[in-house]
Amino acid sequence: MRVCVNLADYEQAAKLRMTKSAFGYYAAGAGDELTLRANVEAFQRLRLRPRMLVDVTQRDPSTTLLGHRVPMPVTVAPMGFHRLAHPEGELATVRAVTGQGLIFVASTMATSTLEAIAAAATGRLWFQLYCFRDREITRSLIRRAEAAGYSAFQLTVDVPVLGRREADIRNNFQLPEDCRVANLEPYGLGSIRGGSDRESSAQEYTDRLFDASLTWETVDWIRSQTRLPVMLKGILRGDDAARGIDHGATGIVVSNHGGRQLDSGVSTFEVLPEIVQAVRGRVPVLIDSGVRRGVDVVKALAVGASAVQLGRPVLWGLAVDGQAGVERVLSLFRMELDNALALCGCPNLAAIGPDLIARRFAEFLS
Ligand SMILES: Cc1cc2nc3c(=O)[nH]c(=O)nc-3n(C[C@H](O)[C@H](O)[C@H](O)COP(=O)(O)O)c2cc1C
Ligand SMILES: CC(C)CC(=O)C(=O)O
């Protein structure tokens, strides 16, 4: 096998190892995948103005997120069904992520229970919450996550219904028999199979069970159920971010679900300035969707984000080599970040500021 030297190489290597249906589920965006592509392109378009003649022999990319010290401003985004990539699924991922001191965000749709993930972890965990029509299920998930030691929630607000992921429809995506929605098993909802043979079973499952009537009142209700911090994941507008803070959100995750929901929706990086401005430093702003290079972290922080969340590349590492594959993906990413910091003249994250951002030539002339 060719050596993987960046995260894109891991995607190619993972594709060779996975079934068409599983790879399609991980890789796909909604519709024409316009937003999926725009996410990566938005990061790529921004150019940086590196600062010279700064002593960068000592470099420290560490930071604090919700009161917890982390070695770099990167968390692993919540993603469902890790066992499609590797038999050890989320357990391998969480060992790799927390082993490097990073925060793992466990998905409601994990193929290991949140309790088993917590038992395998050696560090900080957050729990991603989907709100079910049956509020008792949602309440029970909150209780279980608290009891298992998770320290914050990310409430996902961008899935009132699932986006149309056409790869899944074409492949009639089903979870294999040995992959279960483990957290939902106690409520008799562990299987994602069946439905129409022209649809994705994930679509059928979410249509049946997820609460499409989610509103700001639901955010209040979730907050009333827990004393833990609740971040809102899936915010794409400054006014929604400000409103979220009014409703007690303790963090904003700028996300379009990796281009899997509204196709033609804005890329996350292009709306980051608007959201940073609306938040005014009151809570941390995280960004995901399209982060593929260490230098993207510098770009996000220069615009005012506190951290990024890494999505699909972690699954590619898992598919290629289980825990070791995830460790290697994270190490590569960290090396890229370290290199970018040094070359920008930033010995630490405090040195990253808006002055690093190059204005476009057209703006120069106007
Ligand atoms: C295979 C897959 C499964 C996902 N499952 C969830 C999920 O269960 N809950 C959630 O809030 N977001 C989910 N997401 C969205 C991610 O949390 C994140 O927003 C996205 O992957 C970031 O984009 P990127 O993959 O381009 O880095 C999923 C994404 C992928 C690719
Ligand atoms: C089954 C889905 C709801 C999981 C998810 O969030 C996704 O596939 O993007």
DSSP string, 292-339: -SHHHHHHHHHHT-SEEEE-HHHHHHHHHHHHHHHHHHHHHHHHHHHH
Please identify, by atom number, the ligand 2 atom nearest to the C-alpha of residue 257. Answer: 9
- Return the DSSP state at 253: E
Pocket of ligand 1 (CB under 6 A): 26, 39, 77-80, 107, 109, 128, 156, 233, 255, 257-258, 260, 288-291, 310-312
pLDDT string in tens for the chain (366-residue length) = 679 999 999 999 999 999 999 999 999 999 999 999 999 999 999 999 999 999 999 999 999 999 999 999 999 999 999 999 999 999 999 999 999 999 999 999 999 999 999 999 999 999 999 999 999 999 999 999 999 999 999 999 999 999 999 999 999 999 998 999 999 999 999 998 876 666 789 999 999 999 999 999 999 999 999 999 999 999 999 999 999 999 999 999 999 999 999 999 999 999 999 999 999 999 999 999 999 999 999 999 999 999 999 999 999 999 999 999 999 999 999 999 999 999 999 999 999 999 999 977 656 565
Task: Work out the angle at residue 262's Cα, subtended by the Cα atoms of residues 220 and 240, and round it to the nearest 5 degrees.
Answer: 35
Q: Which amino acids are annotated as binding site for FMN, given as ranges?
A: 78-80, 107, 128, 130, 156, 233, 255, 288-292, 311-312
Pairing label, strands 285-287, 63-65: unpaired
Ligand 2 centre from 303 Cα, in Å?
28
Nearest Cα residue to atom 4 of ligand 1 = 79
Q: Is the ipTM of this complex over 0.90?
A: yes
Query: Beta-carbon neighbour count of residue 52 at 10 Å?
Result: 7
Separation between Cα atoms, residue 200 and residue 172, nearest integer Å: 5
Q: The domain at 7-355 falls in which architecture?
A: Alpha-Beta Barrel (3.20)
Please identify, by atom number, the ligand 1 atom nearest to the C-alpha of residue 310. Answer: 27
Locate all alpha helices (DSSP H) within the chain, ordered by sequence. Answer: 7-17, 20-27, 34-45, 89-99, 114-120, 135-148, 166-170, 201-209, 216-224, 238-246, 268-279, 294-303, 312-344, 361-365
pLDDT at 193: 80
Contact 340, 34 (CB under 8 A): no
Separation between Cα atoms, residue 70 and residue 103, nearest integer Å: 8
DSSP H or E stretch at residue 154 = strand 153-156
Phi, psi at 71, each rounded to 5°: -70, -20
Mutate to test the pocket of ligand 1, among 79, 82, 109, 155 (most ligand atoms within 8 A of CB): 79
DSSP three-state, residue 163: coil
Nearest Cα residue to atom 1 of ligand 1 = 26
Q: Structure tokens of 301?
A: 């922080």
pLDDT at 365: 64
